[in-house]
Amino acid sequence: MRFRSFLAPSVALAGGALLCTSGSGKAYNFLGGMLDLGQRDFRVHNNFNDPEANDNTTPSLAFPGQTGAVRAIWAAVAEWGSEPRRDGGGDQHQPGDLGSGGANFDSTFQGLAPDPGGTDDNVFSEITGNSGGVLAFTELPINDGWRIRFYRAPTIWHDGPGAPPGGSDHKDLQGVATHEYGHALGLDHSTNSLDNTMFPGSSGNFYDKRSLAADDIAGVQALYGVRSPAKPHISAFDVLGGQLTIHGTNFAASGNQVWFTPAGQGDGTPVMVQNLTSTQSGTRLDLSIPPGAGSGDLLVRTPGDTGDRLSNAYPADLLLGECPLVESYGTAKVNSLGTSSLLEFSGSPSLAIDNFSLFVTLGGYGSSSGILFHGQTEAATPFMGGTLYSKGPFVRDQTFVFGFFGDVQLPLPISPAMVGQTHHYQLWYVDPGDSFGVGLSNAVKVSFCP
Ligand SMILES: [Zn+2]
């Protein structure tokens, strides 16, 4: 089979919306090639010169060590991954759902590139000039690698995390990168539905292209195979000193490789530790962190060359280690208004990031006062018509007053003394119409990390 990509060496994405044709069944199409396990790397040459392309400076556990355009592009590639990235967080457009491909396909972030590289060096970068409404293009052939360029003018590239502002030249870097990486991995344009990431156009700023549609998912699965139940899977890691423990499933008894992102610039070849033996029935790998490894993606490759031998890409901050996932549990007591105050959370429980916050959107008792408290041990004790979800001794963190709609924001500054502690937070508030006079929320369990 001749690769059509040789005949059409680049696939460009036009800025304006195109008319969609009606049709049924599949809309995805193939370019005629695919990326083997030696081509799963990608790098970013961050020469994006719009200030808006690098003004998202908020750290994220999902993309350790990177912000701005690099983080946006990393998220774009991660969306094609085989399973939700860590807890699926890291993209405001699709909370909890980053990593939607469901195929035997995962990629590895290999750091920053010093230049745009050649046409098969797997680098994202910006290029000067423009081309008649084309925003970006992917250079092929894909089997040997690819190169993705974004035109500098007239587009104003935005790195998110939210949607770009109005104005036709304002485009979402992540959304367009998600489309272009679809070409890099072997998908041609989808023939219908503006909703598809691989449709060659958008009705707006391409923000909606960040999230794969069912047809895009069907396309990557048809190309690489539906994610195998035997595919290695990383679920967590620990760092202690220079020692790394990786937890997961389906690691080989022997011959495992662990792939790291390099610290600083790399050449696209993962920093690697080879010939590792797993323990605990293929669920654990222990190794020393190799020289040159930096924070980034962690992957495990088991012996063999097929896509089902490479694990998911797990975000790993080798300096901070991993903060345990924050968990919401229990059920809020229904108050005398018939509503219940659902305690939610945002941000990271990391001291280094320090943006953790608890909040209630709706459902508290409007204008009523209350107390945020925590215990250190989980429990479920009936209390005043509701449930106390931790045991004493209780600590009062702060008092608050619900807004008119029963909403409240409770930022929780993290102090060094909190690192290593686990708190089970809950709200107690005044409910004048309740027989006990008391309202209670559900609980949120947080373990603070460095
Ligand atoms: Zn395209």
Ordered by start, the domain boundaries in the chain are 4-224, 233-316, 327-447
Q: What is the 150 CA–ligand 1 centroid distance (Å)?
A: 12
Taking phi over 0 as left and psi of -120 to 50 as alpha, with beta for the rest, 398 belongs to beta
Q: What is the 184 CA–ligand 1 centroid distance (Å)?
A: 10
Q: What is the 124 CA–ligand 1 centroid distance (Å)?
A: 15
Strand partners, 310: 301
Q: What percent of the chain has pLDDT over 70?
A: 94
Give the residue-averaged pLDDT of 193-213. 92
- Among 77, 72, 99, 85, smallest CA distance to 161 is for 72
Residue 191 burial (C-beta neighbours within 10 Å; 0-12, 13-18, 19+): middle
Q: What is the 180 CA–ligand 1 centroid distance (Å)?
A: 6
Residue 288 burial (C-beta neighbours within 10 Å; 0-12, 13-18, 19+): exposed
Residue 432 burial (C-beta neighbours within 10 Å; 0-12, 13-18, 19+): exposed
Give the residue-averaged pLDDT of 445-450. 88
Do residues 212 and 199 touch, judged by C-beta distance below 8 A? Answer: no
Q: What is the 412 CA–ligand 1 centroid distance (Å)?
A: 44
> Exposure pattern of 71-100 as b/e (b: 16+ CB <10 Å)?
bbbbbbbbbbbbbbbbebbbbebbeeebbb
- Among 205, 197, 137, 136, smallest CA distance to 170 is for 205
Contacts of residue 66, defined as CB under 8 A and 6 or more positions apart, other chains included, come to 74, 109, 296
- Among 184, 218, 222, 178, smallest CA distance to 35 is for 184
CA distance linking residue 210 with residue 94, whole number of Å: 8
Give the residue-averaged pLDDT of 395-401. 96
Do 327-447 and 233-316 fall under one CATH topology? yes
Please identify which residue in the block is written with the tokens 């007591």: 333
Taking phi over 0 as left and psi of -120 to 50 as alpha, with beta for the rest, 433 belongs to alpha
Give the residue-averaged pLDDT of 28-33. 90
pLDDT at 445: 95
Q: What is the 134 CA–ligand 1 centroid distance (Å)?
A: 10
Q: What is the 227 CA–ligand 1 centroid distance (Å)?
A: 25
CATH architecture classification, 4-224: 3-Layer(aba) Sandwich (3.40)
Q: What is the 33 CA–ligand 1 centroid distance (Å)?
A: 16
Contacts of residue 69, defined as CB under 8 A and 6 or more positions apart, other chains included, come to 44, 46, 48, 53, 54, 157, 159, 173
Q: What is the 179 CA–ligand 1 centroid distance (Å)?
A: 6
Query: How remote is the C-alpha of 405 from its chain's centroid?
Result: 32
**What does the block give as tokens for 433?**
């119409």
CA distance linking residue 38 with residue 185, whole number of Å: 13
pLDDT at 354: 80
Give the residue-averaged pLDDT of 244-267. 95
Q: What is the 345 CA–ligand 1 centroid distance (Å)?
A: 37
pLDDT at 325: 76
Q: What is the 358 CA–ligand 1 centroid distance (Å)?
A: 41
Give the residue-averaged pLDDT of 137-145. 86
pLDDT at 322: 73
Give the residue-averaged pLDDT of 77-102. 95
Q: What is the 90 CA–ligand 1 centroid distance (Å)?
A: 24
Q: What is the 57 CA–ligand 1 centroid distance (Å)?
A: 29
CATH architecture classification, 327-447: Sandwich (2.60)
Backbone angles phi, psi at 348, to 5 degrees: -110, 140
Q: What is the 198 CA–ligand 1 centroid distance (Å)?
A: 6
Q: What is the 171 CA–ligand 1 centroid distance (Å)?
A: 15
CA distance linking residue 205 with residue 157, whole number of Å: 10
Q: What is the 122 CA–ligand 1 centroid distance (Å)?
A: 17
pLDDT at 11: 55
pLDDT at 1: 22
Question: How does residue 141 score in pLDDT terms, banded at 50, 70 and 90?
Answer: low
Choice between 4 and 262, residue whose per-residue pLDDT is larger: 262
pLDDT exceeds cutoff 60 at 181: yes
pLDDT exceeds cutoff 90 at 192: no
Give the residue-averaged pLDDT of 6-24. 40
Give the residue-averaged pLDDT of 119-139. 91
Q: Please state which of the four CATH numbers 1.10.3470, 1.10.287, 1.10.260, 2.60.40 is assigned to the domain occupying 233-316.
A: 2.60.40
Question: How does residue 170 score in pLDDT terms, banded at 50, 70 and 90?
Answer: very high
pLDDT at 370: 97
Contacts of residue 164, defined as CB under 8 A and 6 or more positions apart, other chains included, come to 52, 156, 158, 170, 171, 172, 205, 207
Q: What is the 189 CA–ligand 1 centroid distance (Å)?
A: 6
Q: What is the 27 CA–ligand 1 centroid distance (Å)?
A: 14
CA distance linking residue 344 with residue 446, whole number of Å: 12
**What does the block give as tokens for 55?**
């003004």
Question: How does residue 3 score in pLDDT terms, banded at 50, 70 and 90?
Answer: very low
pLDDT at 193: 83
Q: What is the 216 CA–ligand 1 centroid distance (Å)?
A: 13
Choice between 27 and 110, residue whose per-residue pLDDT is larger: 110
Q: What is the 137 CA–ligand 1 centroid distance (Å)?
A: 7
CA distance linking residue 218 with residue 226, whole number of Å: 9
Q: What is the 293 CA–ligand 1 centroid distance (Å)?
A: 34
Q: Considering just the CA atoms, what is the radius of gyration of the chain in Å?
A: 24
Q: What percent of the chain has pLDDT over 90?
A: 75
Please identify which residue in the block is written with the tokens 């993705």: 148
Beta-carbon count within 10 A of 190 CB: 25
CA distance linking residue 94 with residue 100, whole number of Å: 10
Give the residue-averaged pLDDT of 8-20. 43
Q: What is the 183 CA–ligand 1 centroid distance (Å)?
A: 7
Q: What is the 29 CA–ligand 1 centroid distance (Å)?
A: 11
Q: What is the 339 CA–ligand 1 centroid distance (Å)?
A: 47
Tell me the residue ranges of DSSP E strands in 117-159: 123-127, 134-139, 147-151, 156-158
Q: What is the 178 CA–ligand 1 centroid distance (Å)?
A: 10
Q: Which of 17-31, 163-177, 316-330 has the highest mean pLDDT?
A: 163-177
Q: What is the 11 CA–ligand 1 centroid distance (Å)?
A: 5
**Whole-number average pLDDT of the chain:** 90
Q: What is the 127 CA–ligand 1 centroid distance (Å)?
A: 17
What is the three-class DSSP state of 418? helix
pLDDT exceeds cutoff 90 at 374: yes
Give the residue-averaged pLDDT of 35-55. 97
pLDDT exceeds cutoff 70 at 382: yes
DSSP percent split of the chain into helix, strand, coil, nearest 5: 10, 35, 55
